[in-house]
Structure 1
Amino acid sequence: MALRPAALIPPWVRDYDIGGFGADLLAGLILAILLIPQAMAYALLAGLPPEAGLYTAMVAPLLYAALGGSAFVSVGPVALASLVVADAIAGTELEPMAAAAIIAVESGAILLILGAVRLGRLVNFVSEPALLGFTAAIAVLIAVSQLPAFLGLDLPRAGNLIDAVPIFAGAGAPDGMTVAVGASVLALLFLANGFADRAIAPLALPAPVRLAVVKGLPLLIIAGAALIARPFDVARVQAPSGGLPQPMLPLADPSAWLGLLPSSGLVALVVFVTGTAVAKSLPRRRNDALNTDREALAVGAASVAAGVTGGFAPGISLSRSALVESSGARSPLSSAIGGLIVLPVILFAGPLLAALPEAALAALILSAIVGLVKVRDIRAVWTHSRAEGVVIAATFLATVLFGVRWGLVAGALSGLAVFLWISSQPRVTRIGRADGADNYRSTDRDRVELDTLPVLPVRIDRSLYFGNVGHVEARLGEIIAAHPQARCLLLDMRGVNAIDASALRMFDRLRATLADEDLLIAFAALHMPVHDALKAAAPTDDIPCFLTVEDGVQEMTTRCAAPRDDG
């Protein structure tokens, strides 16, 4: 079902008041301080001129403000999407800007289609462990990609560590002055990120001013590096053209569009999955749930607009979004204001930007990727589930060693394998009374006594399908064999929300087997869909069903005590 036209109106417009404009204006000003150097740095990461990042930083927020729903999301150049774009560009013979434009348009179109047909929920099929491993590996690849600029070496780009090792092994000696500039900037950026807020706390500045000072330090550090390095021979960024972005369709041979389509799909996937994760982490108004379909439309439109105006595929930045939120923004208008502030920079600051050392921007990127490695989240997943920890490791290693494409494939396949492994082995456990007749717990895990014989209650803790019925059937056979005094198997089905045809066939075999052994079978706590499926597969009289396990134990104990009718 397509979105209705009325649904395209951003929700923030309906209750926006002029009082919120002042807060959005201040948040936009603070955002621009961080956005401008990041936009240039991430353009270089993508293998594009800095002005491509500035155009993206200006155009993308305007489209998101017109269609998006989050007040704090900052759409624009991001490290993760930039690296994926760089990887895609490296695999084509097209001119980099043309290839980047095609990828932006195609990936944006894919997101627009997903949003229009309301398939934004597909993002939920990418597991959190796979995403953690992927982003951590991307941090490593980004660091590797920035080493040439950081060391003053003219080296080809490597999309993975296997290709990077021989490239760096054959490289010459680093340029001492370039390394000094990069290392100094990197050290100052880490100090600013770690201690600036506490250092200026005694000044008792108003919150917005303090935030502007702290977030403005990276720009001041990079500007200072440009001033100090001015007399020295170090590589510098390409000056922006100084003109407005010109709308143009990136025309090329149709085969080029088809050839870049897989890369565009990969960009769309990465942008949407990581962007949705960022958006979910941001605060929202009460009862205002994140609409993934709207987000797909908004980010897709932003990507198409960036592609036809000299930019490249944008994403959602966690650091800038957090900055917008802490700045007190009231609507996406704040990010749009930040984007508009980029315009005078493009028009008038070209000579100043051309003085920036590439090593300084490389240092800015290196300081920003630390947040991609979420050590605490990785440790929590590993503590919770070793199997899901393997997904993190597999995704990380595949991405680092073989590149972005194989990393995502490894993440998807390993996540699916873990899901199938876990779902194929549901817990089938004996249960007994604990703290009251109506409270039945596992005799193995909770150390309660099995005091209901000759009725043998057993609980199944997962929905049943063709992949796990064999395990369930075997486990039930083991439990029955271990209790020769049992005369009735009572299945607690509260954990079984659905069953398929294979599960129904398994129950048919189980009833026949138990009948041959002169054992009864009964069910307790059936969900209605499961009850209806069992009823359709066998006569109702053949399926004793009870609301609770205790009801089943009481009734089936009475039946087992009655004299047997031998015909």
Structure 2
Amino acid sequence: MNSIHYQLFPFLRWQKPSREILKSDLAAGTAVALVLVPQSMAYAQLAGMPPVYGLYASLLPVIVAALWGSSNQLATGPVAVVSLLTATALIPLAAPGSGEYVALAVALAFLVGVVQLSMGVLRMGALVSFISHPVIVGFTNAAALVIGLSQLNKLLGIPVDTGGHFLMGLWDMLGDVAYLHWPTLAFGVGAILIMVGLKRFIPRVPGVLAAVILATAISWLMGFERKADVHLDQVSPPAVAEQLLKWGDFKEEKADLELQIREQQALLEAADSTEAAALRYKIELLSLRQEHVSRVLKLYREEMRDVRFARLPGEDGQPDAFVAAQALDERGEEVHPKWRVTQVDGVQIRMDAGGRVIGSIPAGLPSISMPDLTPATLTALFTAAFVIALVGFTEAIAISRALAARTGQRLNPNQELIGQGLGNLSASVSQGYPVSGSFSRSAVNLNAGARTGLSSVFTAVFILLVLLFFTPLFYHLPEAVLAAIIVMAVVGLINFKAIQHAWLASRHDGIAAIVTFVATLAVAPNLDVGILIGVALAVGLFLYRTMRPRVSELTRYEDGTLREARRYGLRADEEIGLLRFDRSLYFANAGYFEDAVLEQAARYPHARYMIVVTQGVNEIDASGEEVIRSLVQRLRARGTTLVFAGIKPQVLMVMKRTHLVDFMGEDNVFHSTEGAIATIRDRLAKQKAEEGQADQEEGENERA
């Protein structure tokens, strides 16, 4: 089979299935699936999606990414960081969980897939090098903190406003900690204890699955979910009902204002200068009204959180009534359980006396269809898609390299890009959202004995069976348990020692890591802005380093080697200047190179030769070449010859193409540094001898 077949169908490189391989892959695939089922639903919740969409994203993408990727053990699917980036991109555009939100998530997966696939086909895997390791370290630590803290409200059972700044929402939630729901907290903490305990004492038992099974059973037995959807007419006294009605009206107005703002912003992108001014003014007015409505809604929420209701059976076939408990307490009546308002939708009120559970998960397979891609959608999502594509692939390739270090497998980054791109495209057409490689599930896959990508196929088959037959079993799973799963998954991502290590290795790398960390926290939940700031800073610091490279004056040490004159307190030769330039010569540092050579020449006005050691110069561009010509002319004017020593073949090739060698003189360009110094010394000795002889002859002529 030729190489073209392997490029088109990389899975043909897998080992030929044998009974032993199939057994190992089946065991590994099942182990991964047992972790993936609850994780996928948890990550879907993190992304603002209904839990079933996490299962959809764990079906086709798992198979496709394994078939067309380059790693045999990489487990693809929903992951924490990509899920949070998805929520970051979509929450400003639509209400989480809504049909519009889901459609945007599906479209986002398609764009991510197109970006990754295009990069893979064009062999642009090296592009991820622009996201340096320190930036990834800073971003990952900040993202892990944001993800973990974003689950606090679900662990505590406290509602939080997800539409504003993350840190402000977190502060408001902590201010409401007195209203936490103790049973919800018990489920969350209990799940964490189960996962930690099993990992420490019985690591072979999947802690995630055990926590899910046990929590679901307890939730069902105790009737953890107690909710009721009631009409406003069932609520009393009238003053409380009126407050709820105003709450619903303001909530509808806020949603309408958000829609109007998005529509006006879409028109603004296509408007001319005259229309744009009017549209900006209208958007500003709508935004001011939206801020006012948001403040009013917050006040209503704060007022209603103290109100508890008692459920009284209706008489003569009438629906049950929900009376503010305070009114009953004044009459000396005590009723349990007490209900609270958790959602208002017009005149429909959601009452809750228990905790939140996943609820009904639609059974059956996802429909296969192309996402709805409009110009407005493409414009709104492209930047986020590009960031998610880079971050997701960076995470996937880092995991693949860690796995390859243990298995000895050879990786192809461009092929992995193709696999991840096709995986996201398959997620899009099967109602999924963006996916990437998972470190925890990949580790499970490897440790369980996965030999080929067939393990991922078996994982997807397990997910298929869950979607067809077992979704009703998850109805009573508390959302707090999903939050606990997310918290446990991201705890391992927090590694402040890596930031410290980057600082010790390079101050610039340490600065990039710290600034990325702080910026990501500061702009949360807009994490894509944080990583873009980090990338821009890392590139800027790199350019700064190359603009001012290390330039050293050299001289002979007592052992005959060349050393830096200033560092070792040595006296330099005043007739032959020696300068080492440790960076490629290009437009950003050409001026710095020119200044360094002229400064050296000014310090030694009697130097006849200026030797530049170019062993650290790997290339020169047109700006560098022009600076060298200028230096040759300026030094010649003062009687100094510029010499290049230790020149590399690729640099010499450029100098010959531009005839710079002819301009400098071919006898002033050397491959060897030591050879150049020896030749120049001989040349200088001959010049002195000739000058001495000329002086002697001139003296004799004068005497004659």
Query: What is the TM-score of this pair, normalised by structure 2?
Result: 0.73
Supply the AA of the counterpart residue of 2:188.
G
Q: Per-residue CA shift, 1:141-166, capped at 9, x if unaligned?
A: 21232122111022232575344246
User: How do 1:461-472 and structure 2 match up within 5 A?
Assistant: 461-472=582-593
Q: Tell me how far apart the structure 1 counterparts of residues 198 and 162 of structure 2 sit (CA, whole Å).
A: 30
1:76 match: 77
Deviations 1:282-310 (A, max 9, x none): 21698854222211221111112122222
Q: Does 1:64 align with 2:65?
A: yes
Partner residue, 2:520: 399
The correspondence for 2:140, drawn from 118, 135, 141, is 135
Cα contact 1:489–1:521 (8 A) shared by 2:
yes
1:525 lines up with 2:646 in the alignment: yes
Partner of 2:109: 104
Q: Which amino acid aligns with 1:96?
A: Y
Specify the SS of the correspondent of 1:481. Answer: helix
The one-letter code matched in structure 1 to 2:169 is A
Is the Cα contact below 8 Å between 2:41 and 2:51 reproduced in 1? yes
**Structure 2: segments with no counterpart, 5+ residues:** 225-353, 695-704
The residue correspondences of 1:107-122 to structure 2 (distance < 5 A) are 107-122=112-127
Which residue of 1 is the match for residue 207 of structure 2?
A: 217
CA distance in 2, matches of 1:525, 1:309: 60
Q: Are the aligned partners of 1:160 and 1:400 in contact in 2 as well (CA < 8 Å)?
A: no
Q: Which amino acid aligns with 2:182?
A: G
Provide the C-alpha distance between the structure 1 equivalents of 2:407 and 2:626, rounded to a whole number of angstroms.
47
Percent of aligned pairs with the same amino acid:
31
* Contact 1:55–1:306 (Cα < 8 Å) also in 2: yes
Q: 1:429 matched to which residue of 2? A: 552
- TM-superposed deviation, 1:367: 1.1
Aligned to 1:161: 166
Match of 1:207 in 2: none
**Which 10-residue stretch deviates more, 423-432 or 478-487?**
478-487
Rounded Cα–Cα distance in structure 2 between residues aligned with 1:367 and 1:494: 51
- Asked whether the equivalents of residues 191 and 211 of structure 2 are also in contact (C-alpha less than 8 Å), the reply is yes
Judged with a 3 Å threshold, the aligned counterparts in structure 2 of structure 1 residues 436 and 40 are, in CA distance, closer, same or farther, namely same
Aligned partner of 1:204 in structure 2 is none
The reply to whether residue 189 of structure 1 matches residue 195 of structure 2 is yes
Name the residue aligned to 2:608: 487
- Per the alignment, residue 208 of structure 1 pairs with none
Q: Which moved more, 1:499-508 or 1:36-45?
A: 499-508
Aligned to 2:426: 305
**Partner residue of 2:361 out of 223, 240, 245:** 240
Moved more, 320-329 or 15-24: 15-24
- Bigger drift between 104-113 and 475-484 goes to 475-484
Could you tell me which residue of structure 1 aligns to residue 216 of structure 2? 226
Aligned partner of 1:474 among 572, 576, 595: 595
Further displaced range: 462-471 or 12-21: 12-21
Matches within 5 A, 1:317-336: 317-336=438-457
SS of match in other structure, 1:189: helix
Distance (Å, rounded) in 2 between the aligned partners of 1:418 and 1:451: 33
For residue 419 of structure 1, what is the amino acid of its counterpart?
F
Q: CA deviation at 1:464?
A: 0.7
Larger displacement relative to structure 2 (76-85 or 326-335):
326-335
Note the C-alpha offset of 1:334. 0.9
The residue number in structure 1 matching 2:302 is none
Long gaps (5+) in structure 1: 201-210
What is the match of residue 561 of structure 1? 685
Compared CA separation, residues 415 and 487, structure 1 to 2 (3 A): same
Instruction: Find the partner of 1:352 among 453, 473, 479.
Output: 473
Cα contact 1:424–1:468 (8 A) shared by 2: yes
* DSSP 3-state at the match of 2:492: helix
Match of 1:16 in 2: 16
**Secondary structure, aligned partner of 1:349:** helix
Structure 1 position 394, deviation (Å)? 1.6
Alignment check: 8 A CA contact 2:42 2:482 kept = yes
Shift of 1:32: 1.5
Alignment root-mean-square deviation, CA: 2.6
The change in CA–CA distance for 1:266 and 1:159 in structure 2 (over 3 A counts) is: farther
SS of the aligned residue for 2:72 comes to coil
Q: Is the 8 A contact 2:512 2:537 kept in 1?
A: yes
What is the distance in 1 between the residues matched to 2:517 and 2:159? 28
Q: CA contact under 8 A between 2:194 and 2:207: conserved in structure 1?
A: no
* Separation of aligned partners in 2, 1:362 and 1:12: 40
Residue 380 (structure 1) aligned with residue 501 (structure 2): yes
CA deviations 1:462-486 (Å, max 9, x no partner) are 0011111222222223333334553
Is the Cα–Cα contact under 8 Å of residues 145 and 157 in structure 1 kept in the other structure?
A: no
Kept in 1, the 8 Å contact 2:196–2:207? The answer is no
Q: Deviations over 1:105-158 (max 9, x none)?
A: 221122222222322332222211111111111112212321221110222325
1:237 deviates by 0.9
* CA drift at 1:27: 1.1
Aligned match of 2:380: 259
Asked whether the 8 Å contact 2:158–2:180 carries over to 1, the reply is yes
Is 1:419–2:409 an aligned residue pair?
no
Q: 1:159 to 1:142 in 2, by over 3 A?
A: farther
- 1:513 paired with 2:634, answer yes
Other structure's SS at 1:546 match:
coil
Q: Alpha-carbon deviation of 1:14?
A: 5.1
- Deviation track 1:419-475 (CA, whole Å, cap 9, x = no partner) reads 1111111111122345865x5343445x38457653222211100111112222222
Which structure: larger Rg?
A: 2
Per the alignment, in what secondary structure is the counterpart of residue 95 of structure 1?
helix
Counterpart contact for 2:47–2:83, Cα < 8 Å: yes
Alignment of 1:262-301 (within 5 A): 262-283=383-404, 289-301=410-422
Q: Relative to structure 2, which stretch is displaced further, 30-39 or 450-459? A: 450-459
Q: What's the secondary structure of 2:611's corresponding residue?
A: strand
Q: What secondary structure does 2:610 align onto?
A: strand
Q: Residue 62 of structure 1: CA displacement?
A: 1.0
Equivalent of residue 665 in structure 2, options 525, 538, 542: 542
The alignment status of 1:442 with 2:564, answered yes or no, reads yes
Relative to 1, partners in 2 of residues 1:286 and 1:314: Cα closer, same or farther, differing over 3 Å?
A: closer
TM-score (norm 1): 0.89
Which residue in the other structure is 1:203 paired with? none
